[in-house]
Structure 1
Amino acid sequence: MLGPWARAGQLGRWLVHPFISQEPVFYRAAAVCLLAAGLFWQMNALNKTYSTRLMCPLAWYYDTTRYVSLRPLPAAVPVVVTGQGWRLLRANLGMGLRPAELHPVPRPGTRYLSASTWQHSLQRALEGLQVDEWASDTLRLTFDRYATRRLPLTLAAPDSGRALVYTARFEPSHLTFRGPASVVARLPSPYPVALPAGTGPGAAQLPVRAPALVQPAATQVRAELRAR
């Protein structure tokens, strides 16, 4: 009596036998049939309705010459949507999914964008899809107005806490800083300019470093250093 492995071998040979010694055109025809069957199945599947999670891109529009966001604005938000397979496939590939246009009123102290504002914009951008679940009720954001402040310059005290060994005459003697009003208002006056290690007496170009979101009018200033 044949064992199970022998019977399986016989069955395999019986299934493969009709395809042995066939002309190449037979294999090409078989491949075309399999490909057509696969495409038909795929097209039929994409005509059905599915639910999936998408990242909807956001486009922010506000007066960037007068206001600044104190935290990075989200570039996209996750949503759960239901729609036809073709539409969801295109959306996942980044095709036919335009950014939702958001127009916040960037008043200082604004902490969030209400759901009624941003969800309506997302629904317009996701035309043809039904939104089943939103990421949250609000989008957190913080705006401030731009401000400028002109400050005199001075040498920064060494990190070691020791006394300064040089006096400095800066050119220019004052520098203008531009950034969020709440940050600019806290800048020290006179504004300290650090002395790089190894700098000796005489003329030197010193870097001006500022807090994040604050832009100095110059990134370097000329200083004439003299020993005390």
Structure 2
Amino acid sequence: MDKVPSGQNKIKTFLGCILAASFFWLMNVLNKDNYSIKLNYPLAIEYDNSSFVPMQPLPKRISVNVSGDGWSLLQKSWLNFNALPVVYKVLNPNKASFINSTTLTDQITELFPDLHVNYVVSDTFELNFERKISKIIPIRVDSAAINIRDGYVISSIINVSPSLISVDGPVSLIASYPDTIRVSVPTPKIQNNYDESLPIPLPVSPLVEVSHRDVYISFEVAQYLNDISQ
């Protein structure tokens, strides 16, 4: 007499049928053409960074609508986060105000020969570059404002290191930097030799490179005696 399958075995058989049917359905779907998908793909903007500065963050990813068979789309959507970026070259940053989506589409088409690139979503393609310049600024100590205790004097030259700094950045920002930087010594009633590193009073901007942010100031202080011979 045949053994009647238990309820647990029936459930396993049912689940096995469902998985097999799902597998064959998925294989059939992936082999079909004319599916569309939007890929989020890495983007690298190349430009002459020794002569120009981007005034706003450059886009690092692009959205691309592509179509093709299911297998190719699955592969691209799975691997695109680790893929090499699309490289877009800005040949004339001084005149470039946006990324040419047509040129970008052509480049992406070369990367996806097995897919059809329908269009690039161009919602963050604005560009704004300024020419980079350098400026050398001397540093001076506001010696008249140094607070020395009564009965004491500065008895040496005032050493400043560095005495010059350089700032590099976009023209519009560098133009606002002073021609001379004056550093104030904040210590009151100085009576001993002075030897301190002080911050250079300059605005902080991610677009400007400053060679030094601190300046070393030192000088000697001596006590003077009244003439008691009289």
Alignment TM-score > 0.5, same fold:
yes
Aligned to 1:213: 207
CA displacement 1:50-90 (0-9 Å, x = unmatched): 22222122122233333332221111122222221222222
Measured in 2, the distance between the counterparts of 1:165 and 1:225 equals: 11
Q: Which amino acid aligns with 2:24?
A: F
Post-superposition offset of 1:149: 0.9
Aligned to 2:19: 35
Post-superposition offset of 1:219: 2.7
Aligned to 1:114: 100
Aligned to 1:127: 113
Aligned-pair identity in percent equals 28
Measured in 1, the distance between the counterparts of 2:140 and 2:98 equals: 39
CA displacement 1:93-130 (0-9 Å, x = unmatched): 22585432211114324322333322322332333222
**Larger RCO, structure (CA 8 Å, separation 6 or more):** 2
Q: Which amino acid aligns with 1:187?
A: Y
CA 1:135–1:150 in 2, change beyond 3 Å: closer, same or farther? same
Post-superposition offset of 1:184: 1.9
CA 1:93–1:104 in 2, change beyond 3 Å: closer, same or farther? same
Measured in 2, the distance between the counterparts of 1:193 and 1:93 equals: 57
The reply on whether 1:68 has 2:47 as its aligned counterpart is no
Aligned to 2:162: 172
Measured in 2, the distance between the counterparts of 1:166 and 1:108 equals: 49
More displaced 10-residue stretch of structure 1: 122-131 or 72-81: 122-131
- Contact 1:106/1:143 (<8 A) preserved: no
Matches within 5 A, 1:59-98: 59-95=44-80, 98=84
Unaligned stretches of 5+ residues in structure 2: 149-157, 221-230
3-state SS, counterpart of residue 121 of structure 2: coil
Aligned to 1:5: none
- Contact 2:159/2:218 (<8 A) preserved: yes
3-state SS, counterpart of residue 205 of structure 2: coil
Q: Which amino acid aligns with 2:196?
A: A
Aligned to 1:12: none
Unaligned stretches of 5+ residues in structure 1: 1-16, 157-163
Q: Which amino acid aligns with 2:99?
A: L
Q: TM-score, normalised by structure 2?
A: 0.68
CA displacement 1:156-209 (0-9 Å, x = unmatched): 9xxxxxxx67698632222111222332232122236688xx865533222345
Q: TM-score, normalised by structure 1?
A: 0.68
Measured in 1, the distance between the counterparts of 2:40 and 2:11 equals: 43
Measured in 1, the distance between the counterparts of 2:70 and 2:187 equals: 66
Measured in 1, the distance between the counterparts of 2:6 and 2:28 equals: 30
